Amino acid sequence: MMKFEVWNGDASRLRADCLVAGVFEGGELPDETRQIDKAAGGRIAALARRGDFAARSGDTLLLTDLPGLRASRVLLVGQGKRADLGRKPWRRAVHAAVVALAKTRIASAAFALARPVASELDDYWLARATAEITAAALYRVNDLKSGRKPRAAALARLLVGPVAASGTAAAKRGFGHGAAVGVGLGTLRDLANLPSNVCTPSYLAGAARKLAQRHPKTLRVRVLDERAIRRERMGCFLAVTRGSDEPPRFIVLEHRGGKAGSAPVVLVGKGITFDTGGISLKDPPAMDEMKFDMSGAATVIAALTVVSELALPLNVVGLVPTCENMPGGRATKPGDIVTSASGQTVEILNTDAEGRLILSDALHYARRFKPAAVIDIATLTGACVVALGAHHSGVMANDDALAQELVDCGRRADDRAWQLPLTEDYAEQLKSNFADMANVAGRDGGAITAGAFLGKFTKGLKWAHMDIAGTAYLSGAQKGSTGRPISLLSEFLIRRAAH
């Protein structure tokens, strides 16, 4: 576990293996770096003057054995143009610094980077974001390569500052929250990165059980098998799992941190451990990425991890319907009609629109908790990727205040989301000649018609839907889970617990 502390005073006097100092483009030095440079006889300023360090945001350069310092190394980090010093380049600089430190045997480092103004990044967020970024930068994928694993980073202690005495308590709180979010981030990415032949529905249930074992006083787990799912009459969920030989699971996690009887926040995560499309089979290109189709489920398990780590005074329920979507002799076929747990009938016109089917039964199940709010998280539509790309998660809701709360949390946590208009118009596109509704409504507005489908199962609940199809993972050379939207969701839960 990384140790975090704050520092204040003269940066050049800090005791650590390495001082992390910022440089602006054009060679200008922030105040903290000037203190270090002065003690070191002007070596940094001389280097900057020669133009050997461009100081673009995220550039790094390790210097060793500068005179006049207790630290044996100085890591210079480019902070871009001084005028542009906002949270984004600051985050990039911290990330780059941790990545560079992780390649060395440096065990302790003191961050003395220039900080954005307090309205952008106060002491609490300085600490929390540093802890979150550190966890993200040190994350190593749980790969199944047979060669020797690279040596773990030596980094074990980080000093962050300058933070005045008046800000110490806020920073400590920030470190605690950020470290917990970091644990959640690792949980989420580990689960999502695993291949579908390892991370099956039963494996996710096992992960939930293990988590509950670590928090026996506050966290309860229940796992419904296929028979129990049948007893709940989850006809939509069962229609999706039909084509697969892998048994489905419905996971219920309950964190009891709030007052007994106070209405919980219910989180629902899409847990398709592999989405072939079913009989409406997908095209081969990039089909392997459909192992990430359980990222919503991983987010929910990660959120319960964060809540448990922090012992948040809030009741939180996590619901995870999880199965595979496969073609097969018994698989659901286009045109098949099933009855959802809510009693509504659904004509399944496209078996590749399976996420909304398993979620609809889980959202109905959420009612029994009389929730204060229900939020589902799902890699639900390619249309959401077309609309928002990889930058914003999509938010839709039947309650504008809840949607705005999520958007606001995303902005604060630098894990952004954007609201799409879930007006009644979209639900009309789901009309069917043979059942209460169809599960698809054509190409136009696809992210929102998917939301509208879910909306038919959440009447009377305060409900929001997050489509993370574009944000949950990266493709190409950097293929892997991003850990989004755990920061956003953690912020939401931390705020709700503070009320």
Residue 32 near ligand BES by CB under 6 A: no
d(Cα 54, Cα 56) in Å, to the nearest integer? 6
- Return the residue nearest ligand BES (CB atom): 382
Instruction: Please report how close the Cβ of residue 450 comes to ligand BES at its closest, in angstroms.
Output: 7
Q: Inter-axis angle of helices 295-309 and 201-214, to 10 degrees? A: 0
Residue 469 near ligand BES by CB under 6 A: yes
Region label for 365, one of left (φ > 0), alpha (ψ between -120 and 50) or beta (otherwise)? alpha
Instruction: Please report how close the Cβ of residue 1 comes to ligand BES at its closest, in angstroms.
Output: 34
Residue 324 near Mn ion by CB under 5 A: no
Residue 471 near ligand BES by CB under 6 A: no
Residue 446 near ligand BES by CB under 6 A: yes
Candidate segments 102-110, 337-345, 352-360, 433-441, binder of Zn ion by CB under 5 A: 352-360
d(Cα 182, Cα 188) in Å, to the nearest integer? 10
* List 12, 187, 322, 381, residue binding ligand BES (CB under 6 A): 381
Query: What is the per-residue binding string for ligand BES in 279-318, x denoting contact by CB under 6 A?
Result: --------------x-------------------------
Query: Which DSSP category does 20 fall into?
Result: E
Residue 5 near Mn ion by CB under 5 A: no
Beta-carbon contacts of 245 under 8 Å, excluding residues fewer than 6 positions away, are 326, 328
Q: What are 463's strand-pairing partners?
A: 374
Beta-carbon contacts of 125 under 8 Å, excluding residues fewer than 6 positions away, are 174, 412
Centre a 10 Å sphere on the Cβ of residue 460 and count the other Cβ atoms it contains: 7
Candidate segments 55-63, 178-186, 211-219, 269-277, binder of Mn ion by CB under 5 A: 269-277
* List 107, 252, 385, 474, residue binding ligand BES (CB under 6 A): 385
Residue 99 near ligand BES by CB under 6 A: no
Instruction: Please report how close the Cβ of residue 351 comes to Zn ion at its closest, in angstroms.
Output: 10
Q: What are 152's strand-pairing partners?
A: none
- Residues labelled catalytic: 282, 356
Q: Footprint of Zn ion on residues 224-283 (CB under 5 A)?
A: 272, 275
* List 201, 264, 278, 355, residue binding Zn ion (CB under 5 A): 355
> Of Zn ion, ligand BES, Mn ion, none, which one sits near residue 253, judging by CB under 5 to 8 A according to partner kind?
none
Instruction: Please report how close the Cβ of residue 260 comes to Mn ion at its closest, in angstroms.
Output: 40
d(Cα 33, Cα 208) in Å, to the nearest integer? 46
Residue-by-residue DSSP string for 414-427: T--EEE----THHH
Tokens of 72: 């044996």
Report whether 360 contacts 452 (CB < 8 A).
no
- Which amino acid would we find at residue 269? G
Residue 45 has phi, psi (to 5 degrees) of -60, -40
Nearer to Mn ion, 275 or 347 (CB): 275
Candidate segments 74-82, 161-169, 186-194, 293-301, binder of Zn ion by CB under 5 A: 293-301
Candidate segments 346-354, 455-463, 465-473, 480-488, binder of Mn ion by CB under 5 A: 346-354
Query: Which DSSP category does 53 fall into?
Result: -
Q: Footprint of Zn ion on residues 137-166 (CB under 5 A)?
A: none
From the list 204, 247, 243, the residue with the least C-alpha distance to 229 is: 247
- Residues in contact with Mn ion by CB under 5 A are 275, 352, 354
- Residues in contact with ligand BES by CB under 6 A are 275, 293, 350, 352-355, 379-383, 385, 440, 446, 469
